[in-house]
Chains A and B, each alone.
Chain A
Amino acid sequence: MSEAVSNMHVATGFNQPRSFRIARTLRQILSTPLGAIGVVLVTLIVLVAALAPWIAPYSPTAISVTDRLAGPSAAHWLGTDQLGRDLFTRVILGTRTAMTVALVSLTAALAAAIPLGLIAGYGPRWLDGLLVLVFDSLSSLPMIMFGLAIVVLLGPGVSTVILVIVAYSVPSYARLVRAQTLSLKARDFIRAEQVMNASNLRILFVHLLPNVVGPLLILACLDLSTVITLEAGLSFLGLGVKPQVPSWGNILSDGFSVIRNTPVPVLVGSIPIVLATIGFTFFGEALRDALDPKLATEKSA
């Protein structure tokens, strides 16, 4: 299979260099105000996540009983939680947890959903029926119950959260890919490929995939924010990452228990969730517009 795929040369002299195309796409995203906000927020979040250990002033687990529930100050910019841990540190390292969970689980989900959806849409009917049955069964399970069951089986932790998210999002992506494939495979350009004796692999990955990826990208970008809130939600319920691991959900969960004393921890935990949601949503929408060749030329014309 790898040999067959490597035989599918697609790059040619008619394409501009890849770097040039990425630069143009980025310029197009930045040209809209919402896209620009999205890019700034996404860059900020990614940078913070990548550089977290170097930015964080304290250790995320350093407990200082004398400083517990302190308000914002020069020493603790965002104050401390009920154990006296520095909230700024925990938010920054929580960003890292959130991004790791989101990126790993979405990448894994897409990697599984794209082939499954393409096969369901383009393959034989019985296989389609079988796969749709599996997708529908999976997505009919209540998310929280499903998560609980898996946590009970495997114990809480980052990898469990990722597994829950993957199992939960694969059906919805695969169904989107399948629907797109079904509508595309009756189109003339796919029939033209069939008449040219193109192999199924070529039709699937060179012709169907690029036409499916656009809507999928935007959905994934929009879902990135859902996944971040999902991780936070699971952690809030104690089903996600372990309590000592810094995560936005854990900050919220800890802050909630002391909300009668101070609202600061809850606010500190929720603001990054809001910013991440907005950022990835705007970025995803701008990316979709920039990747559509029709919209792109209409704008530049």
Chain B
Amino acid sequence: MTKRTPILEAHGLGITVGTGGGVFSAGRKLDIVVDVSLSLRPGKIVCVVGESGSGKTTLGMALVGLTPPTTGEIIFDGTPLRDFSKTSFRPVREETALLFQDPASSFNPRQRIGDILAEPRRIAGNGATTSEAIASLAQLAGLPSSLLARFPHALSGGQARRAAVARALAVVPRLIVADEPTAGLDVSVQGGVMNLFLDIREKHDTAFLIITHNLAVARHISDELVIMYLGRVVESGPTAEIFRNPQHPYTKALLDSEPVPDPRHRRSEPPVIGEVPSIFARPSGCEFHERCRFAQDLCRSQAPQETAGANSQRVRCHFPIGEAVGEPALAIA
């Protein structure tokens, strides 16, 4: 496998939003995403995994400029963006398709599906927009052409998802950012959508950034994982490695929380203690220490840096879990 130029790279991306505040108060600054770096290479599928509120959706939106980042650098196709203005994101947007979490809401309610699918081609000013061309585009995503004359509200969840994918394929993108592409779909339809993604990757060498909390999907489809916690990447690396040998206690807890399809399986102890802390009051030191079973004094006082762990993983932890999964964990606990 040759290392090809990434389509999109982010270095030290941070997103801070102001909240509250008025004439007499300054309001607070909220760090939604902190120091995130990632790299999307052609034909690779990267999954961003994390709990609700971990900043994964905001990260996805930032990469296409919908929520412009406040710090950091984005490099698109080898060229760094000058700033985070709308004009700078133009080339990124030309090559990127975004799949929203709720596909139905991403369609103009007063346009018919056919027109919605033709929209990217009309904007780009190239590609056929005849009804035959749009019907064959719909076919690619497995959307019956009989639905093209319908309005968005008449589509089922799975049909809307397929329509969104078909629209994404209208102008063949080099990168697809998909926000929770399996949310609200039953398992068989989920599988259909995942296979659709794999087909697209196969045919067009498209890179994918999939934002999900569905570990089964991440394991099935992705080449690389990015685990986020409170807006920070706590662990990243090849999917197979992370599933086989999670290094960060949070990753391990997350993976352990996945249901095991075995009725006799009993979980020994709760994988994580407590609730996700509020980003209004970030814990000192390592932000996971309050919930970590392995936390020590160092974790409470000092934030860990990202380090290269075993097997090309990168992990942000003072005491990464070793190769022998389970044993040291029990010993320390």
Please list the residues of chain A having a beta carbon within 8 angstroms of any beta carbon in chain B. 7-10, 12-15, 187-189, 191-199, 202, 207, 210-211, 293-294, 297
B109 touches A293 (CB 8 A): yes
Known contacts A14-B114, A211-B109; 13 additional CB pairs below 8 A are A12-B118, A14-B148, A15-B112, A188-B102, A189-B107, A189-B109, A191-B106, A192-B98, A194-B86, A195-B66, A196-B123, A197-B93, A297-B154
Nearest CB of A to B180, in Å: 13
Q: What class of interface size applies to chain B in its complex with A?
A: 35 or more
Given contact pairs A197-B94, A293-B151, A297-B154, A192 touches B114 in the complex (Cβ within 8 A): no
Residue B149 interfacial (CB < 8 Å): yes
Query: How far is it, in angstroms, between the C-alpha of A10 and the C-alpha of B105 when the chains are bound?
Result: 20
Residue B96 interfacial (CB < 8 Å): yes
B153 touches A196 (CB 8 A): no
Query: How far is it, in angstroms, between the C-alpha of A194 and the C-alpha of B130 when the chains are bound?
Result: 24
Query: How far is it, in angstroms, between the C-alpha of A192 and the C-alpha of B86 when the chains are bound?
Result: 14
Query: How far is it, in angstroms, between the C-alpha of A202 and the C-alpha of B96 when the chains are bound?
Result: 19
Give every chain B residue within 8 A of A194 (Cβ-Cβ).
66, 86, 93
Give every chain B residue within 8 A of A10 (Cβ-Cβ).
115
A207 touches B123 (CB 8 A): no
Give every chain A residue within 8 A of B149 (Cβ-Cβ).
14
A191 touches B93 (CB 8 A): no
Give every chain B residue within 8 A of A293 (Cβ-Cβ).
109-110, 151, 153
With both beta carbons as reference points, the residue of chain A lying nearest to B125 in the complex is identified as A7
B108 touches A207 (CB 8 A): yes
Residue B129 interfacial (CB < 8 Å): yes
Among the listed B105, B115, B123, B154, which residue makes an inter-chain contact with A189, where contact means beta carbons less than 8 Å apart?
B105
20 A-B pairs with CB atoms under 8 Å apart are A12-B114, A12-B115, A13-B131, A14-B113, A15-B115, A189-B107, A189-B109, A191-B66, A191-B100, A191-B106, A194-B86, A195-B64, A195-B96, A196-B119, A198-B123, A202-B123, A207-B108, A211-B109, A297-B151, A297-B153
**Which residues in window 80-111 of B have CB below 8 A to A?**
86, 90, 93-94, 96-98, 100, 102, 105-110
